[in-house]
């Protein structure tokens, strides 16, 4: 197969394609816009997923930073109550032994 035959076939193919576009322009425009819209939706979803993954990483870092402080703040009233209760129990035991 010579280069002229190959080039000739490609030219004929492109002529057929443009001929179809010329005959049915409305369908071509709809197809082109559908493909373009699909590409943009795909890119938008990928960007959204990347933003979500970055946000998850930031949230994880912030939780790891604040968690020990918050746990100790929430547990301290329970520990104080336990200390008071154990002190009262010790006092009762000491008074009952006398």
The answer to whether position 90 is within a domain reads no
Residue 67 lies in a domain: yes
25 in a structural domain = yes
pLDDT of the chain, 98 residues: tens digit per residue = 566 677 788 878 877 877 877 788 888 889 899 999 999 999 999 999 999 988 998 998 988 888 888 888 888 888 888 888 888 887 878 777 76
C-alpha distance from residue 60 to each of 46, 47, 52, 67 (Å): 21, 20, 12, 10
Domain that holds residue 24: 3-73
Assigned domain for 94 exists: no
Domain count, the chain: 1
Give the long-range contacts of residues 77-85, CB within 8 A, separation 24 or more: none
Please indicate, yes or no, if residue 84 is contained in any of the structural domains. Answer: no
3-state secondary structure of 71: helix
On whether residue 32 sits in a domain, the answer given is yes
**95 is a domain residue:** no
pLDDT digits (tens, 9 = 90+) for 28-51: 889 899 999 999 999 999 999 999
* Token pair recorded at residue 44: 């938008």
């Amino acid at each position: 197969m010579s280069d002229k035959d190959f080039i000739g076939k490609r030219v004929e193919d492109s002529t057929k394609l443009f001929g179809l576009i010329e005959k049915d322009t409305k369908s071509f425009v709809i197809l082109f816009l559908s493909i373009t819209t699909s590409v943009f939706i795909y890119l938008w979803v990928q960007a959204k997923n990347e933003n979500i993954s970055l946000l998850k990483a930031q949230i994880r870092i912030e939780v790891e930073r604040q968690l020990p402080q918050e746990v100790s703040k929430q547990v301290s009233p329970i520990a104080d109550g336990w200390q008071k209760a154990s002190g009262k129990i010790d006092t009762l035991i000491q008074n009952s032994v006398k």
